[in-house]
Structure 1
Amino acid sequence: MEPLVTTFPGTSRLAPLAALLTVAALLTACAPQEEGGTSGAAAGGCRQGALATKKSGTLTVGTDKPAYDPWFSEDNPSSGKGFESAVAFAVAERLGYDRSKVSWVVSPFNKAFAPGAKDFDFDINQVSVSEERKQSVDFSSGYYDVRQAVVALKGSKAADAKGLADLKGVKLGAQVGTTSLAAVTDQIGPSTQPAVFDDNDLAKAALKNGQIDALVLDLPTAFYITGAEVTDAKVVGQLATSGAGAEQFGLVLDKGSALTACVTQAVDALRADGTLAKLEQQWLSDAVSAPVLK
């Protein structure tokens, strides 16, 4: 039997449904919006230039100071020069924020992925994605496939190393909290405890002064250091990567950030359209000729 619907002259039997839809629309229009913009999740997508950022209408990006070449140029992240500066602005553009809407803040390396609230929307600072770090922060998909390298002074015993076995008896060093330090212990396994430094400036000074025989860091930084800062040193070689589980740098976000999916989409799009490869070729093209140490 057809449901009973009361009708009046001049009205449609659909009038009650129309009235309900009108009330629902009014309630939706009056619903409070999230402060700082509409999140991608709330909007069902990533709204260009209107994400739930720390500061409404602005994308805040963190990195360490000093900001080293070749990732940044002349310690100036906002210049757009250097691989990571260029990547940050490319991601921002994908998200709908032009350069005038990008603000930079200083975020020390170790604090970027430590537990606790962040003052950035995302951080870009050669931070490798790891399961341990994912306990405290979110990561985007990888924007750079990392290779670790060994740097030694020319003429030193480490400079002639042909494989990992030749490095086990030398004094190695790396920056604290980095995957470079993990590579020293996990891949090389030296017979003496490696030296640990708060930053790469201290590590470079130790190499120059003979406090360590060799320094382990990412390959592009190794090429920059030997070409521009410690010119009497050489890149001995790079450490092997492990295929599908290869190390990658990722953008760091607050744990559970509303922006994580949108930032990841932006990075994936930049990889798919060849932008990341072009930027790597432009800023990191020297990092191609180091022999693999096995």
Structure 2
Amino acid sequence: MARRSLPVALPTALIVFAALAGCAPQNQPAPGPPQSTCTKAELKTRTPGKLTVATDDPAYAPWFADNLPANGKGFESAVAYEVAQQLGYARIDVQWVRVKFETAIAPGPKEFDFDINQFSITDERKQAVDMTSPYYLVRQAVVAGKGSKIAGRSRLADLQGAKLGAQVGTTSYQAITDVVKPTVKPQVYNTNEDAKKALQNGQLDGIVVDLPTAFQITSAEIKDATIVGQLPQVGVPETFGLLLDKGSPLTGCVSGAIDALRGSGKLEELEKTWLSEVVDVPDIT
């Protein structure tokens, strides 16, 4: 079994992340306006002088804390406030709204300036919405009960006969269909909460989620759950980006804010604060 001692916030991962941002144009937004227009006075937000930020309900740890996005706790809440600050918005100027994941990625006008909700950057999504520069490099992981038939397994072949599930419309579900390629039809759920309940009830052998969420589930949410391992990356490494309305005039400025946070080391600092865990995580090969 290939194993690695993997902090979620790894310097090596950040090097790959920085390289990805520079050499993978398919993950980049359309060129934005000149930086001089990226000021609070110039930005055309939904409410003048305010920045409306969306996320899902419930909003899960470690991305948020206590399902309260406005408290600034959790990686994505902290990132949102840092982006706002880069654009000249004080914390009091940030307004949060709740939008379901599937609603956010669907075509059509949005009721927010940007949404932060673990949206993986994909070409398919960019047909319907704008995606910013990446703010997080992610791996998908399989979580199972310690008594599951797939617990301790290390090969994709060991998972192909398992009953797996994930949230609808996510790259976690896509990882099941495109990477694991199970012989048993995977189950799809409206939320991660529903998928976790199915796992706890014995309806599934395992679920697929991003690695930080896997840490949260196994450490604090489901007794006797274990991380089976990380799934291999296929093609361009998976990254999270902020989501905006298609053709939003804000996309270039918001991407510029993320790029500045990456360049200053702030994103790395936030990862270490909210996501870093050192644990041996198997690679499923």
Q: Sort the Cα spacing of 1:44 and 1:93 in 2 relative to 1 into closer, same or farther, 3 A.
A: closer
For 1:109, the equivalent position in structure 2 comes to: 101
Q: Distance in 1 between matches of 2:156 and 2:207?
A: 14
Q: Distance in 2 between matches of 1:254 and 1:128?
A: 16
Aligned counterpart for 2:142 among listed residues 150, 158, 165:
150
TM-score, normalised by the number of residues in structure 1? 0.84
For 1:100, the equivalent position in structure 2 comes to: 92
Alpha-carbon shift at residue 156 of structure 1 (Å): 1.5
Alpha-carbon shift at residue 100 of structure 1 (Å): 0.3
For 2:241, the equivalent position in structure 1 comes to: 250
Q: Distance in 2 between matches of 1:289 and 1:62?
A: 34
Output the amino acid matched with 2:271.
Answer: E
Please tell me whether the aligned partners of residues 35 and 253 of structure 2 are also in contact (alpha carbons under 8 angstroms): no
* Superposition pairs of residues 48-67 of structure 1, within 5 angstroms: 48-67=40-59
* Superposition pairs of residues 180-219 of structure 1, within 5 angstroms: 180-219=172-211
Alpha-carbon shift at residue 288 of structure 1 (Å): 5.5
The two structures, once aligned, show a CA RMSD in angstroms of 1.5
Higher RCO by CA contacts (8 Å cutoff, separation 6 or greater): 2
- Give ranges in structure 2 of 5+ residues lacking alignment: 1-31
Q: Sort the Cα spacing of 1:160 and 1:45 in 2 relative to 1 into closer, same or farther, 3 A.
A: same
Alpha-carbon shift at residue 116 of structure 1 (Å): 0.4
For 2:281, the equivalent position in structure 1 comes to: 290
Higher mean Cα deviation, 159-168 or 69-78?
Answer: 159-168
* Superposition pairs of residues 54-133 of structure 1, within 5 angstroms: 54-133=46-125
Output the amino acid matched with 2:184.
Answer: T
Alpha-carbon shift at residue 231 of structure 1 (Å): 2.0
Output the amino acid matched with 1:189.
Answer: K
Q: Deviations over 1:145-199 (max 9, x none)?
A: 1100000000211112111111001110111100000000100000110011100
Alpha-carbon shift at residue 48 of structure 1 (Å): 3.7
Please tell me whether the aligned partners of residues 121 and 131 of structure 2 are also in contact (alpha carbons under 8 angstroms): yes
| 2:227 is the alignment partner of 1:235 | yes
For 2:131, the equivalent position in structure 1 comes to: 139
2:141 counterpart SS class = strand
Divergent runs of 4+, >4 A = none
Aligned counterpart for 1:162 among listed residues 154, 172, 175:
154
- Give ranges in structure 1 of 5+ residues lacking alignment: 1-39
Alpha-carbon shift at residue 242 of structure 1 (Å): 4.4
Please tell me whether the aligned partners of residues 62 and 120 of structure 1 are also in contact (alpha carbons under 8 angstroms): yes
Please tell me whether the aligned partners of residues 147 and 247 of structure 1 are also in contact (alpha carbons under 8 angstroms): yes
Alpha-carbon shift at residue 49 of structure 1 (Å): 4.9
Output the amino acid matched with 1:286.
Answer: E
Count residues with an aligned counterpart. 254
Q: Deviations over 1:227-269 (max 9, x none)?
A: 11102110111112247x1111100001111000000000001
Higher radius of gyration, 1 or 2 = 1
Output the amino acid matched with 1:87.
Answer: V
Alpha-carbon shift at residue 291 of structure 1 (Å): 1.5
Output the amino acid matched with 1:258.
Answer: P
Please tell me whether the aligned partners of residues 133 and 259 of structure 2 are also in contact (alpha carbons under 8 angstroms): yes
Please tell me whether the aligned partners of residues 40 and 49 of structure 2 are also in contact (alpha carbons under 8 angstroms): no
For 2:266, the equivalent position in structure 1 comes to: 275
TM-score, normalised by the number of residues in structure 2? 0.86
